[in-house]
Amino acid sequence: MADRSAIEWTEATWNPTTGCDRVSAGCDNCYALALAARLKAMGSPKYQQDGDPRTSGPGFGVTVHADALSIPLRWRAPRHVFVNSMSDLFHARVPTTFIQDVFGVMAAAPQHTFQVLTKRSRRLARLADTLPWSDNVWMGVSVEDGAALPRIDDLRRVPAVVRFLSCEPLLGPLTGVDLDDIDWVIAGGESGRHHRRMDPAWVIELRDLCTEAAVPFFFKQWGGRTPKSGGRTLEGRIWDGMPVTTRPSPLAASTM
Ligand code: SF4
């Protein structure tokens, strides 16, 4: 974990689990998978378990870190915390009791706002009733193309105070996406050596749908060889929309 993050829409990362397996097109160039291999080679203790080479890789086997659970409790200053930048909390190999422990810690740290993002939306929906949904938990699903749209229906079944979509890397049009009960949309292109191009029409269409539905829209980046290659201006301006909540939002104050 790190108590400062380079991700534009959060402030810190916390990884009570590490490792994952690719599940859909959005995973093809998973940055965490590549980073885990480097961390393993550097001897980082959290990244010594290998995953299945067909879907995962060196240092990226799913691993639960009970000793990392208490970390956010020790951070006094309020911050937005991205949960599991190096994993997917709802992966089938993360025990339900551990997911409940993570939610327990989030409830016990009301000074922070936690942002949880998953591609395993079916398990999320299945477990939702067994989790304590404190009002500092924002829950999101990744929606990279039309095949991922059913994840949004799963998300709607979750009683989180903020439900959000991460449309990054945006790999196809999301024409007509239903934004009912969705509070925030993040979009962005892919970066890295093998990045896939995002058609501007896809992101403009999504921005327009958000505007029509009065859903805050955050445009993270165009993508390219590096995350900053294409900048983050869309039709002449920065789109830094953040969800409207009654909780104090230090990040919103600094970016809006
Ligand atoms: S779900 Fe996320 S962490 Fe897991 S392989 Fe896909 S992109 Fe990587």
- Does the pLDDT value for residue 247 go beyond 90? no
- Does the pLDDT value for residue 251 go beyond 50? no
For ligand 1, atom 6, the nearest C-alpha belongs to 27
- The rounded Å distance from CA 121 to ligand 1 centre is 13
How large is the average pLDDT for residues 11-31? 96
- What percent of the chain is predicted at pLDDT more than 90? 88
CATH architecture of the domain formed by 12-254: Alpha-Beta Barrel (3.20)
Where do the domains of the chain lie?
12-254
Neighbours of 81 (CB within 10 A): 25
Q: Is 23 in the pocket of ligand 1 (CB under 6 A)?
A: yes
* CA–CA dist 61, 63 (Å, integer): 6
Tens digit of each residue's pLDDT (9 = 90 or more) over 163-218: 999 999 999 999 989 999 999 999 999 999 999 999 999 999 999 999 999 999 99
- 169 cis-preceded (ω within 30 degrees of 0): yes
* CA–CA dist 60, 33 (Å, integer): 6
What backbone torsions phi and psi does residue 156 show, to the nearest 5 degrees? Answer: -65, -20
For ligand 1, atom 3, the nearest C-alpha belongs to 87
| Three-state secondary-structure class, residue 234 | strand
What is the Rg, in whole angstroms, of the alpha carbon atoms belonging to the chain? 17
Tokens standing for residue 191: 């970066």
**What pTM value is reported for the model?**
0.92
